[in-house]
Structure 1
């Protein structure tokens, strides 16, 4: 394997590299000294210079040729009117980096930051950190004691922080702390949920693009959106407020006014100007829950606000500005809404960059226990006394909570309400079996309207066609009706599959619920879209 060539990129120093006559060899000149190290071979030196010091470039080139004839010198003129102007310097170096034919597989690049103005050095640092220059920083220093002709010292600084064990460990701890923060310190055990939160943490820190949270009511979309905001605020990535609105509460003319504001006299009753929630969220986070409920006009205005950071208030002639990050929530299948013309395709494409489907509580049954512990701690902190289960009561409640009888239709809202009721009734801070039995009866009553999975009995004549439906055995017809009923109450093929195969999937190492359900439907010539229709 051929050894990589070493290439140095750096500005000539109009002061540090200057010198005439033989006396110049007694002076430490950073660029020349680079090639005087006996144990370092510089294969190529990309010598950047501004318009004027061409003589100095020629002199340095000749001197390097004497001490290191194997080093190729490539002078590169960079036109900068003011080397202390950050915008000019960064722009010139950016253009140079974009045009330069970097070959990291064949060459190692050292970016020399000892010479040039402080602004030049800062720009070289920033561009190396951002990987526009794919290499290491090179810092050189003169010899500590005067020694004519001595090359001094050099040090390489690799800005890939993952290579530094101590820093990497600190970053790892910080990421773990951030993930724990997003989960409120709940030691969740669901692999899918934990993997999703890991990614959301990385996206939240690095991106200001819209985030779409999908999932059933009570799955924790609003809670997670607020934690995302608090995490970004702790990192000083947002300076504004967290603004939340449930779009299902917006109706008629008031929807546009609530979101985008209005000017005085825009409509009857508009006695004064209103800022609107988008302006209130400037430099902060705007959480639009149930975004699928927005009207098409409001969707069009929202798209413009996301893309251009500006919009017209209702009745206004002058656009206003607001730079917010959007987090959207929905329990609808927005792709299906687009297909039916109820949601704008361009808006869906804009908010669909980072999309996460939060699983319901039934799909995270292993997380019921740690969430119970969290909810009881929260109750204790709020009311000033700790509440606990006795062993029999805890076992009783967990058996029910993990069983098929526990519907959890409201997901974590149901679980939170259940804990609040039992903790409130607990004498001396103890939840006993009597309290648990009463709570289970209350939950069964709460979920009774949902007990019949096939309550919305599918019309198989409509799904299959009358002729095909008539050819089904009653057994197949009843089973298919039940399956279609579950599908119509589910957000996705995978969601329906997890519900339908909740027991048998636990025996499989890699359950593919969506594939199993797809194959079942195919027996009847049906697809997901067919049954959802």
Structure 2
């Protein structure tokens, strides 16, 4: 039969509660003595923390515990604190104490007495227990009620286990709060893309646990600015930030005004500086600063920003006195900053400072399963903005989703394109109902806006007029530009012969027999196409 675990208690000497008149010490409640005189709890060792000024009281308490609980060994632990209300000093001392002691949880039950010591000491013990630096449970002792007539009042005790996995209601509540935070960051959109949902889970954890800079990367229109503002609102709700949300697109900062806009200036520091200007970094004090397109900053701005991040201070333009500001930084970019560093356009040390937490936001084309819920979200936004409730009829909505999810929809502008599409269809919809007519017009408008002459999208658009999507998917990317060019040439010609003369104008000069029309007919037949189809 395995030996019973020993109960080891850690406690501060109570310089007030443990200190009683010598004659009253057996009739008055003393927390450390009471801890060792509980009938159903044997303390095998009490580690009693005190300073040099309380050695005499510690000796008396040790002697009294020996009388009422001879099985308890009292081990003095001297910790001298210059200021027992200085959190950093107290936590550092207790952290060192925890590091000096090894507690074997297989053989020992560690109990951390929370009744004595300053509130700062109690908080520090709680944190060390919660982080498992002190792998034990909390114990709280209480004096007996006033009606007790017991000659040796031991009072009561309560043990608190910080293993939250044992508390179903607490675990459920924390899970619900985490789900609420994730839902908030997604603006209530029921996204289906697993990679995106996992990304939001990570961002939620980092946003609530870290003040370090966050770098959001991804294509233009992927939602970096919107996500930054949601992170700010979430941190405001959870008590992390009390200042403002300040946003600036660094691509709009040019010349001398860039330094002034970001870091402020003194009156008279340059022509036109009629008064002091605080700058955006100071406006973001105790809040969140979002620098979108940070890769567009010039070298001087990068240097000052680096100092502001590292030291929390910088020199405004024209000033010899540094100013201070404490803010959360989120940076956004659609560029590969590593390439910019290699080519000398971006400071490597600045990238190292903002690259601790980097999250790559996918474009809409990479999240086609999320188009439907985002479509509903855009309709809600339109209603909130205009006060008009707009809906799709069933056929129109399916037509738009089929188009939106098809390979020919590139979504170059990402969510900006989707927002613009919904705005246009909602504006043109008669009686608040988007019909197939509005959808078809919008699909054509989007396709035209995405086309770039000679691009893959251009080739796909030309092929999609005559071939189904699954047939296009079976054509090698190498062959698509050629087929698209043949189709476009045939559509411009009145006959196969004319198309042949254009397509084979060079090679036909070197041949004695020219039957170029037949060559085109056979080529088109490989793709189940005919000249008559193309010329209609």
Q: TM-score w.r.t. structure 2 length?
A: 0.79
For the 8 Å contact 1:44–1:72, the answer to whether it is kept is yes
Distance 1:127 1:450 in 2: 64
Conserved 8 A contact 1:78-1:92: no
CA contact (8 A) 2:241 2:287 kept: yes
Task: Report the counterpart of residue 398 of structure 2 in structure 1.
Answer: 395
Instruction: Summarize the Cα distance change of 1:118–1:371 in structure 2 as closer, same or farther, 3 Å threshold.
Output: closer
- 2:445 is aligned to 442
In structure 2, the partner of 1:258 is 261
The equivalences for 1:154-303 within 5 A come to 154-303=157-306
Distance in 2, matches of 1:356 and 1:86, equals: 40
- Structure 1 unmatched runs, 5+: 457-474, 483-533
> 1:155 Cα deviation (Å)?
0.8
Contact 2:33–2:61 (CA<8 Å) still a contact in 1? yes
Q: Aligned pair in 2 of structure 1 residues 105, 328: CA closer, same or farther (>3 Å)?
A: farther
CA shift in 2, pair 1:193/1:318, >3 Å:
same
Q: Distance in 1 between matches of 2:151 and 2:400?
A: 84
1:12 is displaced (CA, Å) by 2.0
Pick one of 91, 95, 98 that aligns with 1:97: 95
Change (3 A) 1:448 1:425: same
- Taking the aligned partners of 1:328 and 1:24, their CA distance within structure 2 comes to 63
Q: Deviations over 1:10-65 (max 9, x none)?
A: 12234433457786444433212222223323232111123333333222222323
Q: Which deviates the most, 350-359 or 161-170?
A: 161-170
CA contact (8 A) 2:285 2:325 kept: yes
Closer, same or farther: CA 95–480 of 1 in aligned 2, 3 Å: farther
Q: 1:308 to 1:405 in 2, by over 3 A?
A: same
Structure 1 residue ranges (4+ consecutive) displaced by more than 6 angstroms after TM superposition: 20-23, 479-482
The separation in 2 between residues aligned to 1:15 and 1:322, in whole angstroms, is 42
Give, in whole Å, the separation in 1 of the partners of 2:21 and 2:387.
81
Could you say which residue in structure 2 is the equivalent of 1:76?
A: 77
Which of the numbers 348, 353, 359 marks the counterpart of 1:350? 353
What is the SS of the residue equivalent to 2:171? helix
Contact kept? 2:8, 2:110, Cα under 8 Å: yes
Give the aligned CA root-mean-square deviation in angstroms: 2.8
- SS in structure 2 of the partner of residue 53 of structure 1: helix
Aligned to 1:429: 432
Matched, 1:61 2:59: no
The change in CA–CA distance for 1:287 and 1:479 in structure 2 (over 3 A counts) is farther
CA distance in 2 between partners of 1:269 and 1:411 (Å)? 40
Q: CA, structure 1 residues 476+114, in 2 after alignment: closer, same or farther (shift >3 Å)? A: closer
Return 5+ residue gaps in structure 2 as ranges: 460-474, 483-536
Q: Secondary structure at the match of 1:228?
A: helix
Contact residue 98 and residue 132 of structure 1 kept, 8 A: no
Question: Does 441-450 or 10-19 show the bigger shift?
Answer: 10-19
Displacement of 1:399: 1.0
Task: Give the aligned partner of residue 496 of structure 2.
Answer: none
From the superposition, tell whether residues 289 and 126 of structure 1 become closer, same or farther in structure 2 (CA, over 3 Å): same
Distance 1:94 1:453, change over 3 A: same
**CA offset digits 1:449-483 (Å, max 9, x no partner):** 17713999xxxxxxxxxxxxxxxxxx99958999x
- Distance (Å, rounded) in 2 between the aligned partners of 1:427 and 1:480: 40
Q: Do 2:251 and 2:297's aligned partners in 1 also have CA atoms closer than 8 Å?
A: yes
Relative to the length of structure 1, the TM-score reads 0.80
Aligned equivalents of 2:226 and 2:301: distance in 1?
25
Residue 116 (structure 2) aligns with: 115
Contact 1:28–1:148 (CA<8 Å) still a contact in 2? no
Larger radius of gyration: 2
> CA–CA distance in 2 between the matches of 1:297 and 1:414?
35
- Deviations, residues 512-532 of structure 1 (Å, cap 9, x unaligned): xxxxxxxxxxxxxxxxxxxxx
Structure 2: distance between partners of 1:118 and 1:392: 66
Question: Using the alignment, how far apart are the partners of 1:6 and 1:387 within structure 2?
Answer: 68
Q: Is the 8 A contact 1:264 1:270 kept in 2?
A: yes
Going from structure 1 to structure 2, the CA distance change for 1:343 and 1:26 (only over 3 Å counts) comes to same
